[in-house]
């Protein structure tokens, strides 16, 4: 299991600084969508330059213009780039193809996808599938990701070859519900970055990698 740290709603300098004390306990560093929208590829370049030994996730949330956006992110230093699962199939397939040519990874964000779409997307066995409770759902509706309540589609939960990632208000308590799904990645944001002691928080999440 990989621990991914989401860095969002920050300046580039703040993002680099926020990762510094916890980098030893983190596997992947996410350049959040807001960072990319506000600062462009400079944010991806800066995180890769500062942390060359970490995998850098560019949360581009591509929905169209797939080849251009994915090439741009990979060229800037990203190792993984995100595409929305609700995007047209031709877009998702284009992202997969670019990643294969580059020797990189694709993360498919399943936010607002239908059951039929998820079943279709499951054919992309090389991708990482991200079960995601959105920031708006978290902040405006009090939602958070849980391993219960049917939030993990059967076509993914029952397929042990699928690489699952989980994101959305995950805490040290809620992560326990997700461990039985053998996550490929757990995406943590404010539970670390807004903690009174980010190092202790990161250490606590890192302990789950050994279970």
pLDDT score of 148: 46
Euclidean distance between CA atoms 179 and 1, whole angstroms: 9
pLDDT score of 116: 92
Do residues 159 and 194 lie in contact, with contact meaning Cβ atoms separated by under 8 Å?
Answer: no
Average pLDDT over residues 4-11: 97
Q: Could you write out the three-class secondary structure of 65-103?
A: CHHHHHHHHHHHCCCEEEEECCCCHHHHHHHHHHHHHHC
Q: Which residue, among 28, 66, 31, 14, has the nearest Cα to 184 in the 3D structure?
A: 28
Domain ranges across the chain: 2-210
The CATH fold assigned to 2-210 is TIM Barrel (3.20.20)
pLDDT score of 156: 80
Average pLDDT of the residues of the chain: 91
163 bridge partner residues: 128
Q: Which residue, among 194, 189, 170, has the nearest Cα to 181 in the 3D structure?
A: 170
pLDDT score of 138: 64
pLDDT score of 140: 65
- Tell me if residue 3 falls in helix, strand or coil: strand
**Residue pLDDT, tens place only, 16-57:** 999 999 999 999 999 999 999 999 999 999 999 999 999 999
């Amino acid at each position: 299991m990989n621990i991914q740290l989401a860095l969002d709603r920050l300046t580039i300098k703040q993002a680099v600084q926020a990762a510094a004390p916890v980098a030893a306990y983190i596997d992947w560093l996410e350049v959040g969508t807001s960072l990319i929208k506000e600062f462009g590829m400079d944010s991806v370049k800066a995180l890769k330059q500062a942390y060359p030994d970490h995998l850098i996730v560019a949360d581009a949330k591509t929905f169209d213009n797939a080849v251009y956006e994915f090439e741009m992110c990979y060229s800037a230093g990203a190792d993984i780039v995100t595409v929305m699962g609700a995007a047209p199939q031709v877009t998702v397939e284009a992202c997969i193809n670019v990643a294969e040519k580059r020797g990189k990874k694709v993360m498919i964000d399943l936010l607002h996808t239908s059951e039929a779409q998820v079943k279709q997307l499951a054919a992309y066995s090389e991708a990482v599938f991200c079960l995601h409770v959105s920031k708006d759902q978290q902040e405006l509706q009090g939602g958070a990701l849980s391993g219960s309540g049917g939030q993990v589609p059967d076509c993914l939960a029952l397929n042990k070859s699928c690489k699952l990632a989980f994101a959305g208000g995950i805490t040290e308590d809620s992560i326990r519900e997700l461990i039985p799904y053998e996550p490929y990645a757990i995406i943590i944001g404010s539970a670390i970055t807004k903690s009174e002691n980010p190092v202790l928080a990161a250490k606590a999440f890192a302990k789950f990698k050994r279970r």
